[in-house]
Amino acid sequence: DGSRYSENKRAVEEKNMGPTVKTFMTRCIQCTRCVRFITEVAGVPDIGMVSRGEGAEITTYLEKNIDSELSGNVNDLCPVGALTHRPWQYHYRPWELKKTETIDVMDALGSNIRADFRGSEVMRVLPRVNEGINEEWLADRSRYAVDGLQTRRLDRPWIRENGKLRAASWDEALSAVAAKLKSAPADRIGAIAGDLQDAESMKAVLDLFRALGSNNTDCRQDGAALSGDIRESYLFNTGLQDIENADAILIVGADPRAEAPLLNARIRKAWLKGGTEVAVIGQQVDLTYDYAHLGEGSKLAGKPSKAVTDFLSKAERPAIIVGM
């Protein structure tokens, strides 16, 4: 019932760092890897060390969540398991999983990932090292979207009757949809496919609507104005790694922090090294680095203003990143 250990034992309270990070802070050895990543790579100085000596702790200032789209990476780089993945906690043991190397589809970068699965169920997604694309990082959306394979947003269908919604069975809902499709003329029905639909589902919908005599099918639910030469709508021309060599980057109509967080991290990396200036045409957003806002609206791009031409003309290796 006794112990020969007479000194005080140090214990640290758990911290609430948000929905992606679970803490076991008694394990923490204050290596400050998480602090350096969040501050330098992610550009969101939300984690730091407070107090001194025996009382030193790694914490989020003012007990706030980590406000970063790259927060899951701190769980990967923590050497002692003080920070772990909250969404996957207690779901599996690593040695139970089989591994498949694949490519991420949650943004347009094509990050290299590894999908770990048990049986027919994908349990987690981790990044693979590819210095030319994602380095060793992965965005939270790519890492945790795997939950959508088990948890559905649509838990039950609803039918509107007399202006009010009521819960229904899937058979009843599909019968109602079929009746509406049969009663409407072919030129008054159409289908819009979402961003994350699989090819088999879209082919089935396409065949159905062609059989019904309707040609009203599209996949641009956001109204994207894709050009006739479809290739230029997705080509990046330069490699992602070469962005770091640009001395001036003009972002037109895009929010890389939301659309492609790992590209945004590369731009921040170039900006941090110095010598790279960034300018934005479009909405003002927080991109985790300083930039010159040259204005909003398509007129600026159609007939460049003096600010735009001055920004590009003084650069030796300019890069222009155009959004959708």
Condensed to tens digits (0 to 9), the pLDDT of residues 309-324 reads 888 898 899 999 988 7
pLDDT at 299 over 80: no
Q: Where residue 185 falls among pLDDT bands split at 50, 70, 90?
A: very high
Q: For every residue of the chain, which 3-state class applies, written as one string?
A: CCCCCCCCCCCCCCCCCCCCEEECHHHCCCCCHHHHHHHHHCCCCCEEEECCHHHCEEEEHHHCCCCCCCCCHHHHHCCCCCEEECCCCCCCCHHHCEEEEEECCCCCCCCEEEEEEECCEEEEEEECCECCCCECCCCHHHHHHHHHHCCCCCCCCEEEECCEEEECCHHHHHHHHHHHHHHCCHHHCCEECCCCCCHHHHHHHHHHHHHCCCCCEECCCCCCCCCCCHHHHCCCCCCHHHHHHCCEEEEECCCHHHHCHHHHHHHHHHHHHCCCEEEEECCCCCCCCCCEEEECCCHHHHCCCHHHHHHHHCCCCEEEEECC
* pLDDT digit string, tens, across residues 123-163: 999 999 999 999 999 999 999 998 888 877 777 899 999 99
pLDDT above 70 covers what percent of the chain? 97
pTM, 2 dp: 0.82
| Residue type (1 letter), 95 | W
CB 125 within 8 A of CB 119: no
What pLDDT score was predicted for residue 272? 92
Q: What is the mean pLDDT of the chain?
A: 89
Query: Which tokens sit at 126?
Result: 């981790």
Q: Where residue 302 falls among pLDDT bands split at 50, 70, 90?
A: low
* pLDDT digit string, tens, across residues 228-240: 677 777 778 888 8
Domains of the chain and CATH, by start: 21-85 (3.30.70.20), 94-149 (2.20.25), 184-223 (no CATH), 230-322 (3.40.228.10)
CB 304 within 8 A of CB 281: no
Average pLDDT over residues 54-68: 87
pLDDT above 90 covers what percent of the chain? 59
What pLDDT score was predicted for residue 227? 67
CB 248 within 8 A of CB 315: yes
What pLDDT score was predicted for residue 271? 93
What pLDDT score was predicted for residue 23? 93
pLDDT at 171 over 90: yes
* pLDDT digit string, tens, across residues 68-83: 999 999 999 999 999 9
What pLDDT score was predicted for residue 143? 93
Average pLDDT over residues 86-91: 90
* pLDDT digit string, tens, across residues 28-39: 999 999 999 999
What pLDDT score was predicted for residue 301? 62
Q: Where residue 197 falls among pLDDT bands split at 50, 70, 90?
A: confident
Average pLDDT over residues 42-64: 88
pLDDT at 279 over 70: yes
pLDDT at 220 over 70: yes
Q: Where residue 267 falls among pLDDT bands split at 50, 70, 90?
A: very high
What pLDDT score was predicted for residue 228? 64
Q: Where residue 100 falls among pLDDT bands split at 50, 70, 90?
A: very high
For residues 133 and 257, give the distance between their C-alpha atoms in angstroms, rounded to a whole number.
Answer: 16
What pLDDT score was predicted for residue 131? 93
Average pLDDT over residues 50-57: 88
What pLDDT score was predicted for residue 106? 87
